[in-house]
Chains A and B, each alone.
Chain A
Amino acid sequence: MVNDLHHLAAAYVLDALDGAEIRAFEDHYPTCEICRQEVTEFRLTAAHLAAAAAVTPPDALQQRVMAEVATTRQMAPRPGVVTVDELAARRNRRFTSVLAVAAAVILLVGASVFIVTSRGGSAIDDVVAAPDAQVVQLEGETGSVRLVWSQSREQLAVFGNDLPDPGAGKTYELWGISEQAGALSAGQFDPVDGTVREVADVGDMAPTAWGITIEPDGGSPSATTEIIFFGET
């Protein structure tokens, strides 16, 4: 039987096994180095077979797909990273206390200076692809913000959509919040038409939560307004 399983990778990738065999092979191959490699390679081979069958779909399909996408929630980024629902629940329990900590410590923590280095290539891809990249969904009233933070790279990518204009002479400021270090500024950003795609060098920080406030242009040494987006790492 084991010997048999070893020879099923090709048929498995072509979806040519039936139910019981699929389950048996899916139990087996993650633990078998040879089969795992074959599955990976045969999947790429099958992708060529798929590409050779390419046919442009009718134009109207894209609108239907995007309309459904607009109302469909994505899955949590990966096990261990909080989902929006979990955040909402936790926020109800803990938001007040964290805010209190943040407010107390913000007063004590001065401005942080970050070193700006020039960097080629696609900075966003580099952060997103970092092995320790962690995705954090922030909760707010209007719009959405997701952060991808790589502690090892000391970099952070901000992805914001549908964000309100902060107002003339004002900017969004992001804060890394922990009980030990308080609220450290991770820099400011300005949405263009409500959208943000930016990367920051945030230095060596280990926040347990992230928050966003609206501050005067150039940023503030400490938060001066209420946190409008919040999420725990």
Chain B
Amino acid sequence: MDGVNPFRRRAGADDPPPGGLSPADRALAAAALGDEKAFAAFYEAVSPVVYGTVLRVIRNPALAEEVTQEVFVELWRQATRYDRSKGSAAAWAATVAHRRAIDRVRSEESSRARDDRASQDAVPATDVVADKVVDEIATGLDRQRVQAALSRLTDTQREAVTLAYYGGHTYREVAVLLNVPEGTVKTRIRDGMIKLRDLLEVA
């Protein structure tokens, strides 16, 4: 080999971040190759989003911790199959977190808790959890942008979107809660999400 070694450079912290990849994206790419330390870095980057989302839907801190743990074990298992072309690592984590939280609240054993939650939601939805918890990440730019975007929806669009996403209700349940036709709720959710998408410049 004449001492010529193709392994002549190490990837490390001194690498400049390549365009478009966040630290969470890079940590997940390494975690997909079995690197537990990288997964710990991924956890640190996205756990506020995962835990916050789960807590919003589930509303019980102990249960939210349990579900957050399930979410991260699932993210670890599936890291090998994460498709970067379909969105950032953080967006993927949020998708998995929300779905897992929804599965939990819709499961049989939570049906009672769900009845309780539904009665809470009969009053206009407010930031029950968010208002109580002050968090430096949560008070950052993303929250301000999203709140600003939400404030530009019509009241009925905002209500439908937040009851569905943060409240964890199906559109049919939202229709019952608001006493409006299901088709109306579907339209409000769709129009609200289109407006949010455009305001947040996702497309």
Chain A partners chain B:
yes
Which residues does A use to contact B, with CB under 8 Å? 7-11, 13-18, 40-58, 61-62, 64-66, 68-70, 72-78, 111, 113-114, 116, 119-126, 128-129, 135, 144, 146, 148, 157-159, 161, 185-189, 197-202, 218-221
* CB<8 Å pairs between A and B, sample of 18: A7-B187, A11-B189, A41-B202, A49-B166, A50-B49, A56-B135, A57-B51, A61-B65, A62-B40, A72-B76, A74-B34, A74-B76, A120-B16, A135-B80, A159-B33, A188-B7, A197-B10, A220-B1
Specify which chain B residues have a CB less than 8 angstroms from the CB of A57 in the assembled complex: 47-48, 50-51, 65, 68
Taking a contact as CB atoms under 8 Å apart, the answer to whether A76 and B80 are in contact is: yes
Q: Is the pair A69, B172 in contact by a Cβ cutoff of 8 Å?
A: no
Contact present for B11 and A197 (CB under 8 Å): yes
CB-based contact B7/A198 at 8 Å: yes
B interface: dominant SS: helix
Residues of B contacting A73 in the complex (Cβ-Cβ under 8 angstroms): 77
Interface bits B164-196 vs A (CB < 8 Å: 1, else 0): 111011111010000000000011011011101
Is B133 part of the contact surface with A, judged by Cβ < 8 Å?
yes
Q: Per-residue CB proximity of B58-78 to A under 8 Å, as 1/0?
A: 000000010011001100111
Is residue B146 contacting chain A, with contact meaning CB distance below 8 A? Answer: yes
CB contacts under 8 Å to A, within B95-138, are 95, 97-99, 102, 129-130, 133, 135-138
Q: Which residue of A lies closest to B169 (CB)?
A: A16
Chain A residues within 8 Å of B94, by CB? 46-47, 50-51
- The minimal Cβ–Cβ distance linking A199 to chain B, given in whole angstroms, is 6
Cβ of A40: which chain B residues have Cβ within 8 Å of it? 86-87
Given A41-B202, A52-B143, A197-B10 in contact, is the A128-B48 Cβ separation under 8 Å? no
Query: Given A45-B200, A45-B202 in contact, is the A61-B87 Cβ separation under 8 Å?
Result: no
Question: Is there contact, CB below 8 Å, between B164 and A52?
Answer: no
Chain B residues whose C-beta falls within 8 Å of the C-beta of A43 in the assembled complex:
86-87, 91, 95
Contact in complex: A55, B77 (CB < 8 Å):
no
Inter-chain contacts of A158 with B (CB < 8 A): 7
Contact between B146 and A52, CB atoms less than 8 A apart? yes
